[in-house]
Structure 1
Amino acid sequence: MSERFAKRWESRRDDQPFTDRIKDAVKPPGPLKPRLDFAVRRIELQVQKLDQATDRFSQRDKAIFARIVDAYTKHDTARANVFANELAEVRKMERLIINARLALEQIVLRLRTVSELGDVVSTLGPAVGVLRTVRNGLVSVFPEAENELGEIGNMLSGIMIEAGQGSGMTLNFDAVNEDASKILAEAATVAEQKIKDKFPDLPPGMPSVPTAQTEKTSESY
């Protein structure tokens, strides 16, 4: 820890009871923590908004699904195909939103476990990377989140830089990118499973709704 940060901590200890000093040795106070807590609350607010968006898409999903079944029972294959394609787009957006929500939730959990300056640097690096990826993925689906996530990312970057200066730690960018990729991959896997569990497949004989796997396969050709 730099001399500047050390003086900041030590200047508080003279007036503190011994028990408080012990607590501070484990979790030192400072101006970074309120800002970090504020950033976490802003992320949690975005999670709530994504939950609301998921509910809206779920209602739309059910309505379109019912139309597909209705068209198919009337032997109107053309309309059933149109609705099936529409449902595929809706579920694609649902998957993106659920994926983003899960990734942000992981970031919140990690940020809430930060207790030392070194933890701040190593935790915020992947967090900022995940926020940028989530922000880019939501641009077309949930544009109102773009600016807010951008501001949160900038705030966390500032905290990370200050914490790095105070602790003397430098970022290992390879490790940061790998950690961020793991968070995003895990969120994507869970999101896909949630989609499968939450929404029914069309009965045999009806137009199929592409999954994330079939979308990736088609994009590779």
Structure 2
Amino acid sequence: MGYISKNWNGVKNGLSLSEKLLDKVKPGLSLKNRIESSQKQLQLQISRLEGTQKKLQINHEQIFKKIVDAKMLRDESRARSYAIELQELRKVKNAIGGAKLAMEQIQLRLNTVSELGDIVVTLSPCMSLIKGLTPSISNIMPNLNSSMQDLSNMLGDMISDSSFSAKPIFTPDQNTEDATAILNEAHNIIEGKTKSSMPEPPSTPQNLTKESESII
């Protein structure tokens, strides 16, 4: 009873069990410091993605204006070319937006860890999420690849150091399912925002002719 009371007092003083265990394994790297380091890495990636997203939005508006101008001049060929270019830009913009939202979800999970100290259950889905994001983001923004790897390593170290039980408290299937749910949520949000904020570009000769006639 005295042991339980002693540990309960430790929790009340703001020191979680997971933090105690991590401090024993790596005294120089407390749970709080490691979470803060991961949060800084995440915020850096989110800021970079946000900056890229803003540039893509500017390009989007410029290209769409060129489509309208081409239609006004009845230049169907040029309007179609710009429409194809705009569609490709939207794919990249959606990928960037989805990755940003997913990273914000990871950031929320890190905040939960700092409050609850439940490292393995909370962060395990994040590992699959990062691994899923890395290939697609690396193709669009290669400079993020090493930073994403560093973040993955930091989260992996925290999970490994906190896994003191011989019996895992999560399964790979659960891990993948949680990560997929987060990715789907981010995808649905970004799709909804895109549909509500961006008009569809003309993609066929019929559409170009009809919209040109309506404008003129």
Change (3 A) 1:69 1:21: closer
Give the deviation of 1:39 after TM superposition: 0.4
1:199 corresponds to: 198
Does the residue aligned with 1:176 lie in a helix, a strand or coil? Answer: helix
Asked if structure 1 preserves the Cα contact closer than 8 Å seen for 2:11 and 2:17, the reply is no
Asked if structure 2 preserves the Cα contact closer than 8 Å seen for 1:68 and 1:80, the reply is yes
Aligned pairs, number: 192
Asked if structure 2 preserves the Cα contact closer than 8 Å seen for 1:106 and 1:183, the reply is yes
1:136 corresponds to: 135
Asked if structure 2 preserves the Cα contact closer than 8 Å seen for 1:27 and 1:116, the reply is no
Identity %: 29
- Is structure 2 residue 24 aligned with structure 1 residue 22? no
Asked if structure 1 preserves the Cα contact closer than 8 Å seen for 2:63 and 2:86, the reply is yes
Asked if structure 1 preserves the Cα contact closer than 8 Å seen for 2:87 and 2:201, the reply is no
Asked if structure 2 preserves the Cα contact closer than 8 Å seen for 1:131 and 1:153, the reply is yes
Give the deviation of 1:19 after TM superposition: 6.6
Give the deviation of 1:147 after TM superposition: 1.1
Structure 2 length as normaliser, TM-score?
0.80
Gaps (5+ residues) in structure 1?
1-5, 208-221
Does the residue aligned with 1:140 lie in a helix, a strand or coil? Answer: helix
Give the deviation of 1:201 after TM superposition: 2.3
Asked if structure 1 preserves the Cα contact closer than 8 Å seen for 2:50 and 2:100, the reply is yes
1:87-102 → structure 2 map (5 Å cutoff): 87-102=86-101
Listed one character per residue, the Cα deviations across residues 10-39 of structure 1 (whole Å, up to 9, x for unaligned) are 8xx8xxxx9765233657644223112210
The one-letter code sitting in structure 2 at the alignment partner of 1:58 is Q
1:127-206 → structure 2 map (5 Å cutoff): 127-165=126-164, 169-202=168-201, 205-206=207-208
Give the deviation of 1:171 after TM superposition: 3.2
Does the residue aligned with 1:201 lie in a helix, a strand or coil? Answer: coil
Change (3 A) 1:186 1:105: same
1:51 corresponds to: 50
Deviation above 3 Å: which 4+ runs of structure 1?
A: 18-21, 24-30, 166-171
Counterpart CA distance in 2 for 1:131 and 1:168 is 25
- Is structure 2 residue 85 aligned with structure 1 residue 83? no
Does the residue aligned with 2:208 lie in a helix, a strand or coil? Answer: coil
The one-letter code sitting in structure 2 at the alignment partner of 1:123 is T
1:23-38 → structure 2 map (5 Å cutoff): 23-24=13-14, 29=19, 30=23, 31-38=30-37
Change (3 A) 1:66 1:26: same
Change (3 A) 1:124 1:82: same
1:212 corresponds to: none
Does the residue aligned with 1:104 lie in a helix, a strand or coil? Answer: helix
Gaps (5+ residues) in structure 2?
24-29, 210-216
1:111 corresponds to: 110
Asked if structure 2 preserves the Cα contact closer than 8 Å seen for 1:121 and 1:169, the reply is no
Report the structure, 1 or 2, having the larger helix content: 2
Listed one character per residue, the Cα deviations across residues 47-74 of structure 1 (whole Å, up to 9, x for unaligned) are 1111100000000000100011111111
The one-letter code sitting in structure 2 at the alignment partner of 1:180 is A
Counterpart CA distance in 2 for 1:24 and 1:92 is 45
